[in-house]
Structure 1
Amino acid sequence: MITKQIFPLKYIFNEIKISLLIVTLIGLVVDILPVFFPDFLPDIPISIATTLGIAISILISFKVNQSYDRWWEARKVWGEIVNDSRTLVLQLKMYVEPDDPVIKSMAYRQIAWCYSLGQSLRKIDPFKNLGGLISDSELEHLQSQKNVPLGILNFQTDSIKKQFDEGKLDGFSRLQLEGTLARLTASMGKCERIKNTVFPTTYRKGLHLAIYLFVIFLAMSEPLRLVVVLEVFILVIISMVFFFLEKAAFRLQDPFENQPTDTPVTSIARTIDINLRQLLGETDLPKPIESDDFYIM
C-alpha cells in the first residue's frame, strides 16, 4: 500500500515509460511525414481530440472507481480477519482452562494462517514466516496441501473437536469457536474470489487504444502544429496524465500482486502476530513492519 503522498519520479516513469515512448514516436512521425508528403496528413479539427479526451476522462474515472472498490473490499476483508483473529484467542481464553496448551498452539496457528494466506494470495512461498508457529509434523503434512491456509484451518477445527470430545469444551463454547472459524474461512474465500476474478482485459486494452487515438488526433490538429520539440513535449505531458491514471487503476484492481499498490497483508499479519502474542501474555514481541520506501507491504 502506498503510504506517501509524493511518488518518486522513477516509479512514475517506470510505470508509463513504454507508453510515453510510443507517444514520442507518434509526435515525431506526425511532424516529419508532412515534410516528405505535404498532403498525406490532413488537418484534424481540435474538437475531435477534445471530444475523445472527455470520453476517455469519463472511462478512466469509471475504471478508477471500479478498481478502488476491489482494493477497498480486500482491505475490509483483512480488517475482518484482524477482528476474528483476536476474537478467536479471546474466546479460547474464556472457554478453555488457562493452563491448557491448546490456547497457545491455536493462537500460533492463527498467526501462521494470516502470514500464509497473504503469501498464498501473492503467489509466493506460503511457508515463509511459519517457523516456530506450527509443529514440525503439521508442517510436514502441509507440504502435500495445495491450499496451505485451508490446511491450517483444518488443524484448528481438529483441535476444537478434540477439546469437545475430551469434555474440555461445552456445546455452546464449541459453537462460538466454530462460528469464528467459519468467518475466517469466509474471509479467505472472499480474498480468493478477488484474486481469481479477472478484471475484463478488453476494457483496459480498449481504453489504452483510445488514449493513443486521442494523441494522434491531437497531434494532427491545427492548433498543435508547433515546433517539433514543443509539440512532442505537450503530447507527452497531456498523455502522461491519462496513462498514469489508467496504470494506477490497473494496479489497484489486483490488490494481491506483490506490488506497491497491494493491500498490506504482510504488515497486517504482523500486527495480528503482535496482538495475539500480547493476548497470550508474551513480552518478547516482534516489531511492526515499517516502510523504508513510499509503500508498505
Structure 2
Amino acid sequence: MAPAPTFLRITTMIVRERPNAIALLLALRGSVVPEILPHIAFVALFSVAVAALSHYQLIGLQSLTIMPVTLLGIVLSILLGFRNNASYDRWWEARKQWGQMVNEIRSLARVSGALLGEDAPARRAILMRALAYAHALKGQLREENVGEDLLAWVSREDCDLALATANPADAFIAQAGSLLGEQYRQGSLDSMGLRMLDERLAALSKVQAASERIATTPLPFAYTLLVHRTAYVYCYLLPFVLTGSMGWVSPILTAVVAYTFFGIDRLSEHLETPFGRAPNDLPLDALCRIHEISVADALGDVAPAPLPVKNFQLQ
C-alpha cells in the first residue's frame, strides 16, 4: 500500500489528562479565554467606569434593585443551556457518525476478504476507494482541496473522474459499487454476497449524508443572535445594579459573570461546527488514519502509525 499522505492543514482536538486544580485554573490550550478576553476586559473597564461615577456621586445607583437583572439572568441561563445542549448534540452526532465509519470500513474489509478472497485485486481496489472516500469527505466537510492526497489511494484517472463530479466522496463509493458489479457479472460474487458488500457501501453513504446534514444545517441564526445579544445586554446592565451595594468589587464580579456567559456562547459556536479547525473540533485526520490502519491490517500491508498527540492536541 502506498505510504500515508502528509496533510498540511489539520484540525485538532484537545486530549489531556485532567490537571490539578491550580493548573486547571491557568490552562489556556483548548480554552475559549483568548477569544473572549477582549470582551471580558471591555466589560470590566465599563464596570470600573460605572463604579467611579458612582463613587464620586456623579450618578446615583443605590436605589436600583437587582431583581430585573436577576430575572434576565435566569432567562439567559435557560437560553444558553438550550443552545449549548443543541450544539453539543451536533458535535456528538458527528463523532458517532465518524465512529460508525470506522466500523463500516472494518466490516467491508472483513466481508470482502471472506467473499472475494484475501488476495483478490478487486478487494484491494474496493478498499482503496473506501479510503479515498473518507479523505474526500474530510476535504468536503472542511472545504479544503485534498486532490493530491487522494493519489495515495487511487490512480490519477480515477481521482480526476471523482473530482470532476459535484460530490467526489460519493463518486468513490460509486466506483466501489461498479467494481462490485463487475465481480458479480464475472461470477466472483453471488447475489447474496453482492448484497452483503453493497450494504456496507450504503452504510458509508449514510454516514456521508448525516455529516453533510450537520455541516450544512446550522442552528437558526435568529436564535443564535438572540442569545448573543441577551448575553451582552445582561453583562453591561450588571454593573449598574452591583455597584450600589458592592462598590469597587463590582468590576471583578462582572468580569466573572461575563467570562461564564461569553465563554458558553463562544464554546457553543465551536461545537456547532464540529468539522472546523478549532481546538475542540473533531480530529478527522486521526480518524482517517484509523481507517488506513484497519485497511492495511486487513490487506497484510505495513500499517502506518497512529497520529500522535502533540501538545495535548490530536490532529
Per the normalisation by structure 1, the TM-score is 0.90
Alpha-carbon offset, residue 180 of structure 1: 1.1
Runs of 4 or more off by more than 4 Å in structure 1? Answer: 32-37, 39-43, 222-228
Task: Please give the secondary structure, in 2, of the residue aligned with 1:129.
Answer: helix
Gaps in structure 2 of 5+ consecutive residues: 1-12, 19-23
Distance in structure 2 (CA, Å) of the matches to 1:140 and 1:121 = 19
How many aligned residue pairs are there? 295
> Which residues in structure 2 correspond to 1:1-297 (within 5 Å)?
1-4=13-16, 5=18, 6=24, 8-9=27-28, 11-33=31-53, 38-39=58-59, 43-127=63-147, 129-221=149-241, 226=246, 228=248, 230-282=249-301, 284-297=302-315
Distance in structure 1 (CA, Å) of the matches to 2:240 and 2:98 = 49
| RMSD after superposition | 2.3
Per the normalisation by structure 2, the TM-score is 0.85
* Residues 43 and 211 of structure 1, relative CA distance in 2, 3 Å threshold: farther
* Residues 226 and 98 of structure 1, relative CA distance in 2, 3 Å threshold: closer
Distance in structure 1 (CA, Å) of the matches to 2:39 and 2:224 = 14
Gaps in structure 1 of 5+ consecutive residues: none
Distance in structure 2 (CA, Å) of the matches to 1:28 and 1:205 = 27
Distance in structure 2 (CA, Å) of the matches to 1:36 and 1:227 = 11
Distance in structure 2 (CA, Å) of the matches to 1:209 and 1:68 = 21
- 1:126-185 CA-partner distances (Å, limit 9, x unpaired): 325323210121122233223211111111011111111111111111111111111111
- 1:208-228 CA-partner distances (Å, limit 9, x unpaired): 222222223321115555555
Distance in structure 1 (CA, Å) of the matches to 2:235 and 2:138 = 40
Amino acid at match of 1:155: Q
Percent identity at matched positions?
26
- 1:24-79 CA-partner distances (Å, limit 9, x unpaired): 34324423555898358784311222222222222211111111111111111111
